[in-house]
């Protein structure tokens, strides 16, 4: 079956611009996670959705970052007034959502470059 998909695969933007990154989770998965991965580092948690609601957004670095999941499926990560430090690979993962021990399946990521 289809895995987690993310679009675009690459995004280049200028400092100060607004960007949206999209995640399509595995069908039927109610839990959705966003992580950010800087070069040479492990992924860092940003936000977790259970259904339509953000169950934990403690990883969002500041109020320029926002994410939505209005229908409990596709999620969009929004970054306002981008900064060069926002450059990273943004990963999305989904899981069935029945337990915290459910395996998280990752998408290929969106590589964001802020010039």
Beta carbon of residue 113, minimum distance to other proteins (angstroms, whole number): 15
Count, residues in the chain: 115
Does 65 contact other proteins by CB under 8 A?
Answer: no
Assess contact for 25 and 95: CB atoms under 8 A. Answer: no
Question: What is the C-alpha to C-alpha distance for residues 47 and 16, in angstroms, rounded to an integer?
Answer: 22
Strand 31-37 and strand 110-114: the pairing is: unpaired
CB atoms inside a 10 Å sphere around CB 72: 16
Does 105 contact other proteins by CB under 8 A?
Answer: yes
Beta carbon of residue 84, minimum distance to other proteins (angstroms, whole number): 22
Does 104 contact other proteins by CB under 8 A?
Answer: yes
Q: Which residues of this protein are in contact with other proteins, per CB under 8 A? A: 4, 31, 33, 35, 40-45, 48, 55-56, 59, 91, 93, 95, 100-109
């Amino acid at each position: 079956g289809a895995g987690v998909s993310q679009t675009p695969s690459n995004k280049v933007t200028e400092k100060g611009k607004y960007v949206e990154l999209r995640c399509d989770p595995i069908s039927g998965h109610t839990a959705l996670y966003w992580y950010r991965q800087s070069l040479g580092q492990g992924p860092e948690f940003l936000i977790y959705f259970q259904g339509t609601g953000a169950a934990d957004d403690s990883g969002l670095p500041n109020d320029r970052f926002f994410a939505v999941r209005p229908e409990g499926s596709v999620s969009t990560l929004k970054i306002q007034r981008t900064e060069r430090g926002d450059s990273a690979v943004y990963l999305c993962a989904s899981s069935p959502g029945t337990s915290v021990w459910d395996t998280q399946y990752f998408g290929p990521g969106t590589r964001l470059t802020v010039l």
